[in-house]
Structure 1
């Protein structure tokens, strides 16, 4: 115990002193030294692989993303783009001899398309000079396709002039006449629209595509998944909001048009739910997309729909599968898909047969994502777990075996002592089985008693899966001397439609019961000290933690980040909880039944609150209201306010500060280590 307490006492010291002990743990400082590998892209011929690698500078709080080159046999690993120049969205040409990417260099005022030769030495050549910048890059045939957020109807020199006017003005006001007006951490400019454009691979005049159809891409966010181009360059399929003007909520549909045409046809008009992720098959005969049917429910099961381009018939092929299709790539023969599927606490690779919808699990343990496939069937991806950050791997599509292709972070993490973890199940609300991840601290001794740190995930319609988490790392919390756990309570994704929808519109009953049952499961274990129990969460997890404030629970204290505290004032967010599906608060008394502020008379548990000013998903006023309530009731409480953070604490130094403050708070109320 003495040695463990010594380690815990030095984690708040400067990084140079953190590893003074023989043991090294996954500290909050070390997390920010990890280089983060993003989704790879493999050349059509299967040789070269390019992936973004991001590293952070603690002195400047800045991130730098460079493109790295790898080979499918693991023989190459080196930076491809220059140090100090951000690069993203890499795409190969059809024969793999050139690589295009988006970067902002030199005098660029926004990100532009650059092309780098892959068959010999050479410098990157800039292709575009789009004043409003480019994103969502694709390379089809001899043309580039991209997205830019423009003022419709203006020429490029007029766009540039309008941007300069914005920079020069002393007026900071925003004005809106309709929704949406914001998205997570940014306000939307109602006068600008996101559209698809194209340009020849050697540069030249830019062709407007979706602007001609008088259809913009979804206002809140856009990317490569918002549109696709057929292999022969004849067709475009794209997402667009088809809701009537003045409608409160978006209805995203798939529109199909000829590239050189003047009209776009809504091919999903009959579906009131969300349609997204259009993807043309390699043979150009079929358009695939995903479809949800419940209006206002973002976690509704996403099915794969196939649209035949010759006769325009549509078939839903995964209706019998109780999982959401995501992370899809077509197989080279156009006969199926590989996807990264949220499946019962793990993101696994599945194969989906396009003819009959039959599914086959390819991988089993640990998370796999960012799939990319070559013409010869070589499948690459990222693989991560609770114990290691994302790695670049090649996957055998027959048996799921993975060959690692990188060694990034190996030296950094070589001497880090980690705990262990396991997946367990327990009986939760209504007698149903609940899956939970349990993390044990380094050197765990089951003959002794440890404190519990129960984490409550956000969403609520997401899940904690077997991957590396930077913002709320269970292994880091465990290294402080705690058994740490994540439970996938009712409402969590990846456990079927009935399970994920079980908490709507009643956000309290089932998740609260699941949380209390999780605590009881631990209290029944000999290795848990029942007098040292702590819990906390963020976003919906902050909401449920605030519900605990007003109800019976066994926890000494709570951690509450970005909570939904007042369901009425949550109307000021970038979306209104439940409104689209179940009606507004003047239509439905469910808000009074589930809003935490109605239970404030029972608040008596010490709580640490944290929130970012630029959070528009859960506006910061929610924490201000909660903090004032706790203080007015004389409850021990603290509020950490970040004026430069959004829904998440993303800056390195702010993150380390947050972890340190959390550690001090949890140790104050729930002393660490075995006894």
Structure 2
């Protein structure tokens, strides 16, 4: 009897272990999302010996994140912290010989970010190099100097600037004053009395030298980064981006070239009214590459790669026959080509681009890549992510695109997370055109049962949803609640060619709306979808299109509307005007705005809607949601407004994000019961 009992137990044991494992598995919840350690763009040393990348962790108790620099090796054997916990560090940049690392940090008594230097070939602590009262960012280490950006008051020396900083910190006047545009950028106000300029300091220490101030031109007023300028390897030239019109209403960013120490710069692109940006000297110093868009006022215009021969003084557009935008570029060490992460049909792929003839070759396939960095001996590294895993540090074979993972972050955390599956499908949308769509299935999906649909509408509108890991709108998290979840790349989405991207301008409504309804119909025809349990929603432009749905026929029981453009007229209070530059202002072309502004459809609003917005959102000012909420309430439509006084266009704080996901879940479950039936 005892032997039989043991035998029965041994037979039962696999089932017990399986059940225990099933019980231990967990969904990709918002709590898990905020436990993930997030790897940023890596930098590889010139020799290929070291790789450094920022890694950010978040603490729910403090509601804050902190970034450490971590050290890795190309063989995958090294993974250790390089900077101390509790001290934020970013923008790692190697010295030309790779034996030291510069980075930006704010530590000890720093009020703003400063440049720090850390030796790589010997023990030692990081030492502060700069003491700039307005802070440093956008660093590059070229030759014997470290270059950086700082926003300063023109005409003042450093002592005067320090006094000005102290005065403003102690002032009890909170007023801002503007006499010209721009006055804001995304989530912060701009000080029109300050200018962003490039400076340099010897890497061994010494006096800070102004590089661009003597040229009497400044970097773009709205935003600047390390990609706003470049220095040639001999430190003879600087190439920078500046608004040649000095017009915040309709800027024209051009590439300027100057000798360092000179008092004049040459506009290299005066003939182009579109944007020219991201100057990059080749490693041999013979060529200046940059990106060019041709259409004024269209941020998603195809970005072409242009090369300028500094000796011959000739320019060539390399990719004008390629219907994709170049981005994320790095030069090869031999100056014969570049690698880039290209938005290509809903995937960010690594491409090789020949710098002589513009020929392109795709190296990678299914999943997203970003943050490329390459060594002098040709080791290419970057990050790779997909819908099913967050960014991982990888080495990329430049011959065939195969990858070798170099980190182990998040493996233990995600080991017991049960994920669903996903696939890419194509359906017929507006005008019979093919529309690509990502479909996410819940864990344990059973096609013999019926599931509710949560259709997500991406923002932009010209930013496609690609095969990458998303923290703010994670489709796998939504799917884990018991919904088939989908992202459709409707007309206007990037990565499918210029004609497709530009097809919705200035009519933002017709094609994307038709594509959305066609997506819903595609699902309704599936045996595994319950057409009576459909909800939809999106943010930014996705919030706009969701608000358009409020006033038109649709099959959705309820809508999620985050940071929507509701009134195209009052949207003029945003940090930039969407259609004005290209198609005319509303007093010039009133019919454009009349046809596409959702508030004109308000008499038809009758769908329950959850509205979410942040006070610091200057891209879509918060008044848009208050207008929409009052409209819905006045019409007696079931609606809820969630307001964040401390968030911008995105919900970025850990606890606020958890609340966001909880409230979204409560809302959609109220109108579309989750799970298989």
Q: Give the structure-2-normalised TM-score.
A: 0.96
Deviations 1:371-400 (A, max 9, x none): 000001000000000000000000001111
Q: Please give the alpha-carbon distance, in whole angstroms, between the structure 2 residues aligned to 1:315 and 1:235.
A: 20
Q: Please give the alpha-carbon distance, in whole angstroms, between the structure 2 residues aligned to 1:244 and 1:368.
A: 35
For 2:129, the equivalent position in structure 1 comes to 127
For 1:189, the equivalent position in structure 2 comes to 191
Deviations 1:304-351 (A, max 9, x none): 000111122110010000000000000111011000000000000000
Deviation at 1:260, TM superposition (A): 1.7
For 2:597, the equivalent position in structure 1 comes to 595
For 2:496, the equivalent position in structure 1 comes to 495
For 1:581, the equivalent position in structure 2 comes to 582
Deviation at 1:244, TM superposition (A): 4.8
For 2:636, the equivalent position in structure 1 comes to 634
For 1:279, the equivalent position in structure 2 comes to 280
Equivalent residues of 2:114, 2:135 under 8 A apart: yes
For 2:532, the equivalent position in structure 1 comes to 531
Deviation at 1:496, TM superposition (A): 0.3
Q: Please give the alpha-carbon distance, in whole angstroms, between the structure 1 residues aligned to 2:363 and 2:22.
A: 43
For 2:95, the equivalent position in structure 1 comes to 93
Deviation at 1:576, TM superposition (A): 1.2
Q: Please give the alpha-carbon distance, in whole angstroms, between the structure 1 residues aligned to 2:284 and 2:99.
A: 22
Counterparts of residues 183-582 of structure 1 (less than 5 Å): 183-244=185-246, 248-582=249-583
Q: Secondary structure at the match of 1:370?
A: strand
Equivalent residues of 1:612, 1:641 under 8 A apart: yes
Deviation at 1:125, TM superposition (A): 1.1
Q: Secondary structure at the match of 1:646?
A: coil
Equivalent residues of 1:179, 1:249 under 8 A apart: no
Deviation at 1:446, TM superposition (A): 0.5
Equivalent residues of 2:297, 2:578 under 8 A apart: no
Q: Secondary structure at the match of 1:502?
A: helix
Counterpart of 1:77 (choices 79, 82, 98) is: 79
For 2:105, the equivalent position in structure 1 comes to 103
Q: Secondary structure at the match of 2:288?
A: strand
Q: Secondary structure at the match of 2:192?
A: coil
Q: Please give the alpha-carbon distance, in whole angstroms, between the structure 1 residues aligned to 2:597 and 2:33.
A: 35
Q: Secondary structure at the match of 1:255?
A: strand
Equivalent residues of 1:52, 1:68 under 8 A apart: yes
For 2:60, the equivalent position in structure 1 comes to 58
Q: Please give the alpha-carbon distance, in whole angstroms, between the structure 2 residues aligned to 1:61 and 1:254.
A: 41
Deviations 1:483-508 (A, max 9, x none): 00000000000000000000000000
Q: Secondary structure at the match of 1:507?
A: coil
Q: Please give the alpha-carbon distance, in whole angstroms, between the structure 1 residues aligned to 2:331 and 2:169.
A: 43
Deviations 1:144-189 (A, max 9, x none): 0000000011111111100111011111000001110000000000
For 1:4, the equivalent position in structure 2 comes to none
Q: Please give the alpha-carbon distance, in whole angstroms, between the structure 2 residues aligned to 1:131 and 1:21.
A: 55
Deviations 1:524-582 (A, max 9, x none): 11100010000000000000000000000000000000000000000000011200100
Deviation at 1:78, TM superposition (A): 0.5
Q: Secondary structure at the match of 1:566?
A: coil
Deviations 1:251-286 (A, max 9, x none): 100000001211111000000000000000000000
Q: Secondary structure at the match of 2:503?
A: coil
Q: Please give the alpha-carbon distance, in whole angstroms, between the structure 2 residues aligned to 1:366 and 1:165.
A: 50
Equivalent residues of 1:340, 1:347 under 8 A apart: yes
Q: Please give the alpha-carbon distance, in whole angstroms, between the structure 2 residues aligned to 1:198 and 1:23.
A: 53
Query: Relative to structure 1, is the Cα distance of residues 635 and 436 closer, same or farther in structure 2, using a 3 angstrom cutoff?
Result: same
Q: Please give the alpha-carbon distance, in whole angstroms, between the structure 2 residues aligned to 1:530 and 1:153.
A: 66
Query: Relative to structure 1, is the Cα distance of residues 244 and 159 closer, same or farther in structure 2, using a 3 angstrom cutoff?
Result: closer
Equivalent residues of 1:92, 1:99 under 8 A apart: yes
Q: Please give the alpha-carbon distance, in whole angstroms, between the structure 1 residues aligned to 2:206 and 2:188.
A: 32
For 1:46, the equivalent position in structure 2 comes to 48
Q: Please give the alpha-carbon distance, in whole angstroms, between the structure 2 residues aligned to 1:280 and 1:29.
A: 44
For 1:623, the equivalent position in structure 2 comes to 625
Q: Please give the alpha-carbon distance, in whole angstroms, between the structure 1 residues aligned to 2:40 and 2:638.
A: 41
For these two proteins, the number of residue pairs brought into alignment is 656
Q: Please give the alpha-carbon distance, in whole angstroms, between the structure 2 residues aligned to 1:415 and 1:21.
A: 10
Counterpart of 2:647 (choices 645, 648, 651) is: 645
Q: Please give the alpha-carbon distance, in whole angstroms, between the structure 2 residues aligned to 1:407 and 1:22.
A: 21
For 2:15, the equivalent position in structure 1 comes to none
Equivalent residues of 2:216, 2:263 under 8 A apart: no
Deviation at 1:88, TM superposition (A): 0.5
Where in structure 1 do 4 or more consecutive aligned residues deviate above 4 Å?
A: none
Q: Please give the alpha-carbon distance, in whole angstroms, between the structure 1 residues aligned to 2:602 and 2:608.
A: 13
Q: Please give the alpha-carbon distance, in whole angstroms, between the structure 1 residues aligned to 2:526 and 2:300.
A: 34
Equivalent residues of 1:567, 1:577 under 8 A apart: no
Equivalent residues of 2:93, 2:103 under 8 A apart: yes
Q: Please give the alpha-carbon distance, in whole angstroms, between the structure 2 residues aligned to 1:622 and 1:220.
A: 23
Q: Please give the alpha-carbon distance, in whole angstroms, between the structure 2 residues aligned to 1:137 and 1:355.
A: 29
Q: What residue ranges of structure 1 are gaps of 5+ in the alignment?
A: 1-18
Q: Please give the alpha-carbon distance, in whole angstroms, between the structure 2 residues aligned to 1:408 and 1:23.
A: 19
Q: Secondary structure at the match of 1:89?
A: strand
Counterparts of residues 607-618 of structure 1 (less than 5 Å): 607-618=609-620
For 1:22, the equivalent position in structure 2 comes to 24
Deviations 1:27-56 (A, max 9, x none): 011100000000000000001000000000
For 1:170, the equivalent position in structure 2 comes to 172
Q: Secondary structure at the match of 1:501?
A: helix
Deviation at 1:21, TM superposition (A): 4.3
Residue 154 in 1 paired to residue 152 in 2? Answer: no
Q: Secondary structure at the match of 2:613?
A: strand
Computed over aligned residues only, the root mean square deviation of the Cα atoms, in angstroms, reads: 0.9
Equivalent residues of 1:181, 1:188 under 8 A apart: yes
Query: Relative to structure 1, is the Cα distance of residues 146 and 244 closer, same or farther in structure 2, using a 3 angstrom cutoff?
Result: closer
For 2:17, the equivalent position in structure 1 comes to none
Deviation at 1:23, TM superposition (A): 2.7
Q: Give the structure-1-normalised TM-score.
A: 0.97
Deviations 1:610-633 (A, max 9, x none): 000010000000000000000000
